[in-house]
Each structure stands twice: as C-alpha cells, then as structure tokens.
C-alpha cells in the first residue's frame, strides 16, 4: 500500500467522496444549525420523562431559542453537542434513562422528544425533508422504503459480526435494496391469545378453534368464536396469516432477499387458496367486519370471546381486565396451511440530515445492540428483543416472551418496499369483502388489477 496513486484512486472514488450521507449540501445552509439549536432546548421540557437535575433545563426551556438554552444541560456538552431522538410517548420514557451510559462514555448529551405515535412517521419525513428534525428516530421497519424514497434516512454500515447477533428476520426487515438502514430492537407479531378459564386447551388447528368457539357460543358461554380486528375497510395486516397460509402473499420473494415490488401476486393460486379460507372463516362467523379496533380487545376482556388474535399491545389491558390468558401461535389449518403472521420490527433510524452523523451512528451501531438498551426497551413495550442475547435474557423473566417468539416463528417481516403502500388499501378492502361474502377469486382479481395499475402508474 505504499503507492501514492491518489490521483488514480480519486477518480474511482469520486462517487464515494460525494456520498457524505447526503447531508453536505445542507451544511452550507446557514439556517440549519439554527434549526438544530432551536430544537435542542425543547427536548428538555418533557416533564414527562425527565427526572432530577431538571432545574437547569427548566430555565433553558423558558429561554427557548436564545443562547442561554444551548449551554444548559450536561457539562460535557457545553459546546452544545447533543443528540436528539424522537420517539412516541411510551418509548420516549423508556429510552431516556438508557442513554446515560452513552452520555457518560462520550460526553454527548441525548435529548428525547416525544412525538405523537400517529404523527411520528409523517413528522420525521417532513422535518428531515426540510433539513430539520432529530438525529435519530425510533420507528417501525415498514416505513423504510418510503423514508429512502424521500432520502430522509442514512444507511447504517453495521459491522457484520454485530449484525449476526440479531434475530435474522429483524436484519432482513431493515434491509432495503441490499442496504441496511436501521438497527432493530424488537420483533412483534400477532398470536392467538386465549382466555384460559373459558378455553383451557390449545386448539390444534383453525378448524378446531372454530369448532370449540361455536360450541361455546351455542352453550351461551361466549358470544363470539374469535375476536380479531378487521373492520369495514378491512385489515391486510390482520388477515395476512390466512391469506398467505398456502404460500401465497403480496409480492414474490427475491432470491437475494426482500420482495419484488414490481408485481403483486394477489391472484396467484396459492393466495386464492388462502382467500378461500378467509371466506370460510367469514362464513362460519369467526371473522366479521363489525369487529374493529374499538371492540376487539373490549370483547375479549368482557369474556365475550375465548380466543383473540392480537399482539403484545393487548397484554396490558388484558392484565388490567383480570383475564387469565395464554399466548400461542395462530393455529394452522388442518390441511396443512401454515398461518404465519407478519413481523413488525421496531428500530432506530438515523436521519440523513443529521448534523452529528458519526455520533448518531455510534449510538445506534455501538450502543443500541447492547443488552442494556434492548432489555430496557423490552421493559417498556414488552415486545421480544431483536438481539438474541437480550431475548434469551428476558425469557427467563417473562414467560410471555418465549410464547411471542414462538408465535413469530416462520413469519415474514412486513414488506418495507414503498410499493407496499399501494397494497394495504386494496388488499385490506378485499379481505373485508371476502369475509363479508364476496367471491374470493373475483374479489382478489379486482384487488390485483387495482394494485397493478397503481404500481404501473408510478
């Protein structure tokens, strides 16, 4: 390597030099640092999540936007260097204390801002698109394609040996067109949640579940065979395990991983076989478009259903409602159809416009893959950690975790390609119609046509 052939190499890596995370043009914009500083003091007045030592920060928040605001906070960050993380209410409370190690190691203060859950994705996209926003945001993996389209997330060049420590599906979930864009911390999926007082036995198949459910309804013990979200507009996420049970699905899988977003397979014979099962579940009354987010969990808690298909978010309410429950994988169909759910992966994204790119990358690549953070996040949202070691650690504390992991087995991450946005609506509405009695083949064909025309029109 003694060669000083810089000139030659330079030509080859011009592109590399250009690739300053897409943020270097922004550095010439004199307004951007101001934006960052304006955000900084605001992170502090989350009375919600901060604890002692906030007195200084309170004053900083009072003098918002002026110079006094920037210098408040940890002494190590007296030059104003700080990371801003966006998260929803639940996760903001969880991540804030977990950043202490990072601050102690690096002297970089971390400020966590709460953003409403339903607004986070849009706000992040809009803010970063305008050169503002946080350095890091916590978000779901299926936002990825859309975020890349608008160039608001930076690639994460995680070390291969670190990537290997994660549940493989979680790494797959944050990979888009062969590039890694986020570091995962939890994997969630739907599962069968059973009221153990009403239904002590695990049903061996969907058919058995329906049979037991019908018996309970006839006996007057319950009112519903199964509680599961669908709604008038349908729900492709909730119905996916049935639709994909025979190898069908939404997009064909690519050999190199990921999905081929250029064509949908909603009308493939395998998908149709699943849709038939959907129709059957609707016919026997196990699924209904009248079951939606507003009544599924309440019905289960009121004992109106012995079985519910839902996710980890339901557990708090079930516990509060005093229901004895057990978690199992969604039963397969008796003829071998495997009901594997979609996986949702929660991740840390780095903004493409971060003014502190190395610091942000250090946090997500070197601190997020630690048991401290992964277990800490688990304690807040009860989703099984994505880091294998952390998942093993919490399994000993919480028996649900093992059950959730089992339920996730065989599941595929929700497609993170932007084309998926064109599918949720049409496929969701098709599932509602099929459960409501529409002919599966015809209805899936219509959905396919609609998706295809949306994809073609891009």
Question: Quick one: which of 68, 101, 130, 164 contacts another protein (CB under 8 A)?
Answer: 130
Pairing between β-strand 325-328 and β-strand 136-140 as defined by DSSP bridges: unpaired
Three-state SS string over 1-53 comes to CCCCCHHHHHHHCHHHHHCCCCCHHHHCCCHHHHHHHHHHHHHHHCCCCCCCC
Residue 129 binds another protein (CB under 8 A)? yes
CA–CA separation, 339 vs 349, rounded Å? 30
CA–CA separation, 227 vs 308, rounded Å? 4
CA–CA separation, 418 vs 125, rounded Å? 14
From the number of C-beta atoms within 10 Å of its C-beta (0-12, 13-18, 19+), residue 268 rates as: middle
- Site residues (CB under 8 A) for another protein, limited to 382-401: none
Q: For residue 422, give both structure tokens.
A: 């064109």
CA–CA separation, 140 vs 147, rounded Å? 11
DSSP bridge partners of 409:
none
The H-or-E segment that residue 265 falls in is none
We find the least distance from the C-beta atom of residue 378 to another protein, in angstroms, to be 16
Residue 422 binds another protein (CB under 8 A)? yes
Residue 110 binds another protein (CB under 8 A)? no
Question: Quick one: which of 281, 309, 340, 352 contacts another protein (CB under 8 A)?
Answer: 352
Residue with Cβ nearer another protein (160 or 336):
160
CA–CA separation, 325 vs 319, rounded Å? 9
Q: Which stretch binds another protein (CB under 8 A): 200-208, 324-332, 360-368, 397-405?
A: 360-368
Residue 413 binds another protein (CB under 8 A)? no
Residue 215 binds another protein (CB under 8 A)? no
- Site residues (CB under 8 A) for another protein, limited to 34-63: 34-35, 38, 42, 45-49
We find the least distance from the C-beta atom of residue 131 to another protein, in angstroms, to be 9
Question: Quick one: which of 213, 248, 261, 376 contacts another protein (CB under 8 A)?
Answer: 261
We find the least distance from the C-beta atom of residue 442 to another protein, in angstroms, to be 8
We find the least distance from the C-beta atom of residue 32 to another protein, in angstroms, to be 8
- Site residues (CB under 8 A) for another protein, limited to 1-30: 1-6, 9-10, 12-13, 15-25, 27, 30
Q: Which stretch binds another protein (CB under 8 A): 164-172, 283-291, 336-344, 404-412?
A: 283-291
Question: Quick one: which of 54, 126, 207, 371 contacts another protein (CB under 8 A)?
Answer: 126
Q: Cβ of 227: how many Cβ atoms within 10 Å?
A: 30
From the number of C-beta atoms within 10 Å of its C-beta (0-12, 13-18, 19+), residue 42 rates as: middle
The answer to whether 412 and 171 have CB atoms below 8 angstroms apart is no
Q: Which stretch binds another protein (CB under 8 A): 142-150, 194-202, 235-243, 336-344?
A: 142-150
Strands (E), 190-338: 191-195, 227-228, 307-310, 325-328
Q: Which stretch binds another protein (CB under 8 A): 88-96, 199-207, 214-222, 390-398?
A: 88-96
Question: Quick one: which of 100, 201, 316, 379 contacts another protein (CB under 8 A)?
Answer: 316
Residue with Cβ nearer another protein (385 or 428):
428
- Site residues (CB under 8 A) for another protein, limited to 322-351: none
Residue with Cβ nearer another protein (337 or 418):
418
Residue with Cβ nearer another protein (220 or 457):
457
The answer to whether 214 and 225 have CB atoms below 8 angstroms apart is yes
Question: Quick one: which of 73, 95, 142, 145 contacts another protein (CB under 8 A)?
Answer: 145
Question: Quick one: which of 62, 65, 97, 168 contacts another protein (CB under 8 A)?
Answer: 65
Residue 302 binds another protein (CB under 8 A)? yes
* Total residues interacting with another protein, rule: CB under 8 A: 135
The answer to whether 415 and 397 have CB atoms below 8 angstroms apart is no
Residue 216 binds another protein (CB under 8 A)? no
Residue 101 binds another protein (CB under 8 A)? no
* DSSP state letters, 107-122: --EEEEEE--GGGHHH
- 166-205 footprint of another protein as x/- string (CB under 8 A): ----------xxxx--------------------------
3-state DSSP percent of the chain in helix, strand and coil, to 5:
50, 15, 35
Sign of CA dihedral 453, 281, 332, 223: positive
């Amino acid at each position: 390597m003694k060669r000083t052939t810089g000139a030659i190499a330079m030509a080859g890596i011009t592109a590399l030099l250009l690739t300053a995370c897409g943020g270097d043009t922004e550095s010439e914009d004199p307004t951007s640092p101001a934006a960052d500083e304006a955000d900084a003091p605001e992170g502090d007045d989350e009375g919600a999540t901060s604890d002692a030592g906030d007195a200084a920060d309170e004053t900083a928040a009072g003098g918002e936007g002026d110079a006094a605001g920037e210098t408040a906070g940890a002494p190590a960050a007296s030059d104003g260097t700080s990371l801003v993380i966006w998260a929803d209410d639940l996760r903001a409370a969880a991540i804030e204390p977990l950043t202490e190690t990072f601050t102690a190691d690096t002297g970089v203060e971390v400020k966590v801002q709460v953003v409403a859950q339903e607004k986070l994705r849009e706000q992040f996209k809009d803010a970063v698109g305008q050169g503002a926003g946080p350095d890091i945001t916590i978000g779901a993996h299926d936002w990825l394609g859309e975020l890349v389209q608008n160039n608001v997330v930076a690639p994460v060049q995680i070390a291969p040996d670190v990537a290997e420590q994660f549940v493989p599906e979680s790494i797959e979930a944050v990979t888009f067109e062969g590039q890694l864009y986020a570091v995962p911390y939890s994997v969630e999926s739907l599962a069968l949640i059973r009221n153990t007082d009403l239904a002590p036995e695990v049903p061996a198949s969907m058919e058995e579940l329906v049979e037991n459910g019908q018996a309970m309804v006839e006996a007057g013990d319950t009112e519903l065979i199964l509680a599961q979200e669908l709604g008038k507009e349908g729900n492709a996420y909730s119905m996916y395990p049935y639709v994909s049970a025979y190898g069908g699905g939404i997009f064909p899988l690519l050999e190199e991983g990921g999905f081929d977003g250029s064509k949908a397979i909603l009308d493939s014979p395998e998908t149709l076989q699943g849709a038939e099962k959907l129709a059957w579940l609707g016919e026997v009354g196990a699924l209904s478009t009248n079951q939606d987010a507003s009544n599924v969990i309440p019905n289960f808690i009121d004992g109106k259903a012995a079985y519910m298909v839902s996710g980890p978010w339901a557990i708090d309410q079930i516990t509060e409602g005093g229901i004895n429950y057990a978690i199992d994988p969604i039963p397969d169909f008796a003829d071998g159809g495997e009901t594997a759910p979609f996986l949702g992966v929660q991740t840390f994204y780095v903004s493409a416009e971060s003014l502190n790119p190395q610091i942000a990358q250090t946090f997500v690549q070197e601190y997020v893959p630690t048991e401290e953070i992964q277990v800490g996040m688990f304690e807040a949202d009860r989703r099984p950690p994505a880091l294998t070691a952390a998942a093993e650690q919490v399994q000993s504390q919480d028996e649900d975790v093992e059950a959730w992991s089992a339920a996730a087995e065989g599941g595929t991450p929700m497609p993170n390609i932007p084309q998926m946005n064109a599918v949720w609506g049409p496929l969701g509405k098709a599932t509602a119609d099929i459960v409501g009695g529409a002919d599966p083949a015809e209805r899936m064909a219509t959905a396919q046509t609609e998706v295809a025309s949306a994809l073609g029109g891009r």
